[in-house]
Structure formats: C-alpha cells, structure tokens
A = this chain, B = another copy of it.
Amino acid sequence: MTATTTVLIVLDLVGTFAFALNGGMTAIRVAHVDIVGVVTLGAITAVGGGILRDVLLGALPPATFVDWRYLTVAAVGGLLAFAFSRGLDRFSNPIEVLDAAGLSLFAVTGAGRALELGAGPMQAIILGAVTGVGGGTLRDVLVRQVPSVLSSGVYAIPALVGAALAVAAATTGVDEVLGAPAAVGAAAACFTIRMVGLRYGLHAPRPPGTDRSDGARA
C-alpha cells in the first residue's frame, strides 16, 4: 500500500468518524431514541452513503459494510455521541467542520470508486454526491425529518462540485486513477463552498412563489 493510499484511507476514516458522531448527535436531538438507536443512526449516517453507492454500482457486498474498520469507527463515533451527548452540544462548530470534511472526502472518494468500477462521468458525479449525502438522508428518513439535503442551505451543491472536479481530473488525464493531489484539490473546493455557505447562511434557490424568510429545516 502506497503512502498516498494510506493518506486517503485515513481521511476516509476521519470522515466516517465525523459522520457517525454527527449522526448520533442528530438522533439524540430530534428523536426519542435509546443507545441502540444512537449507535445505529450514527453508523447508518457514516456508512449509508457508501452502501447506496455500491448498491447502485452493483459492487456488492458494499465496501463500507465489509471492511471492519469502517464499521468499528462508525460504532465508536456513535457510542461517543451517546456517552457525551450533553457535553458535545458545546461543540456544534467543530462538528459542522468535521461534517463538511466528511462530505467533501466522501464526494471525491465516492466519485473515484464509481469511475474505477466503470461508471460513466455523469453517473460518477451523481454517485459521488450520493456517497456524501446518502448516509445523512437515510438517518433523516428514519427519524422522520425531511432530509436536509432537499431543503436546507448549500449541501448537495458542494458535493456535486467536488465530485465533478474529481471526475474531470480523472477523465481529462490530469490524474491517472484519481491520485491524491487531484482528490485533495476537489475535496478542498467542496469543503470551501460548504463552509462559505454555512458562514453566510446561503440557500439554494427555492421554487418561484414559495420563498420564505425562515431558515433551514422545515
């Protein structure tokens, strides 16, 4: 295993951890769940996007389900969310940063995996975004929220941009099989857009005639 691959896997696991922590905390906030629910929802948030991607690629069993490291990191993240549910409320800012990092990494690595498995460019971009937003969407459905990706702020757009940049780098030959530099650049672009969106409270356009001044979650 090359140093580059190691770096990417470490970043992927950091994203998994951030999503698990975030998923567990969201579960505690919006639903009346017990320890099983917190850990399950944390894990689903962390590995759900990769599972959806692999189902759509027909690459079964899904990598994030088979590799014990993803499941272990996801379970630990969920357990920490449970154990420190009160204390973690103070850390919403770092959690959002980690979530944006996870979104960026998953969008890029998801697009790369789709290309490796033979998907076309359009499909690879969509699958990168699905990898990034899928886990949180499953979590929201299970706790009866309208998935935030559909309604709140700038979330899917940076994922699509990151995935598109990764695909462009790989298909234009800038990068052989989407190596580390192009991947990091694409993830950084996604991350930046997401953080700017958060900082300035940006929203994607709403349908004409339905704009309201209230924010985010319906």
Give the interface of A toward B (CB within 8 A).
Answer: 27-28, 31-38, 40-41, 51, 55-58, 60-62, 65-66, 68, 71, 82-83, 85-86, 119-120, 122-123, 126, 137, 141-147, 149-152, 155-157, 203-210, 212, 218
Contact = CB atoms under 8 A, between A and B. Distances in A.
B61 A150 contact: no
Given A34-B150, A35-B205, 11 more contacts: A28-B207, A31-B218, A32-B146, A34-B204, A34-B206, A35-B207, A40-B150, A51-B56, A55-B55, A66-B123, A141-B141
Oligomeric state, in number of copies?
3
Given A60-B55, A144-B144, A210 B123 contact: no
Contacts of A144: 144-146
A158 to B, nearest CB: 11
Contacts of A61: 56-58, 119, 123
Q: Which of A32, A57, A65, A83 is most buried by chain B, counting CB atoms within 10 A of its CB? A: A32
A102 to B, nearest CB: 19
